[in-house]
Every structure is written in C-alpha cells, then in structure tokens.
Amino acid sequence: MNQEIYSKLKDIIKPYLPEDVNPESIEPQSHLVNDLNINSTHLVDIVLDVEDAFDITIEDDELNKMDTVAASIALIDEKLATR
C-alpha cells in the first residue's frame, strides 16, 4: 500500500468525518460509509478533493470502487500509474 497516498487521503477524509468519529480511527480496511459514518452524499466531495489533490479524474462508474480506504488508495495508485 502506498503510504504517501494513504497519508494524503487521510487528510482529505478527515473534514468529512462526523464529530463523534475520531480521525485516529481511520484504517486501511475502514469502510467510508459503514465504518467511518461519512454521509454518503459527501462521497462525491471526497472524489472531487481526491481529483484535485492527485490531479486525476475518477469516472462516475469508478465511484463504487472507493468503498474502503484501501480500495480508494488502489484506485488512486492505478490512476496515477496510467496518467
């Protein structure tokens, strides 16, 4: 797992966490909605922030691949490789 992406992604996710979820609880296997309790409508905002931070484009049909932190990192890694 790419640690640099992991670190940047955690910073992107933090503002979207509900107040009662500790940012320290973000782990690679965390499910964004089910574990971190992020409001599902905010997933589109996270995608936009990811696109800006990594200068990549995530297609609408790839959204569902970003269900966990690790899966999101894999997708970002893949996008960066084919950029």
Partner 1 sequence: MQNHRVVVTGLGVCAPNGVGVPAFKEAIENGKSGIRFYSELEKLNFSCQIGGMPLISEAVKSKYFTPLQLRNFNAAGILYGVAAGIEAWQDAGLKIDDEQCDFDSGTIFGVGTLGVDKYRESIYKVDEGNTRRLGSTSVQQTMSSGVSAYLGGMLGLGNLVTTNSSACTTGTEAVLLAYERIKYGKAKRMLAGSTSDGGPYVWCGFDALRILPSKYNDKPAKASRPMAADASGFVPGSGAGALVLESLESAQQRGATIYAEILGGHSNSGGQRQEGSMTAPNPIAVKRCISDALIHAGIEASAVDVINGHLTATTKDDLEIQNWSEALGRKGADFPYINSLKGMTGHCLAASGSIECVASVLQLKHQFLFPNINLEQVHPAIAAQISETRIPRTKTDLQFNILAKASFGFGDVNCCLIFSTFQS
The residues that touch partner 1, with contacts defined as CB under 8 A, are: 15-16, 19, 41-42, 44-45, 48, 60
CB 1, min distance to partner 1, A: 27
The answer to whether 32 touches 46, Cβ cutoff 8 Å, is yes
Tell me the three state secondary structure of residue 27. coil
Nearer to partner 1, 44 or 80 (CB): 44
Instruction: Report the nearest approach of partner 1 to the CB of residue 44 (Å).
Output: 5
Place of tokens 């569902």: 64
Q: Residue 51 CB, nearest distance to partner 1 (Å)?
A: 8
State residue 60 phi and psi, 5-degree precision.
Answer: -55, -40
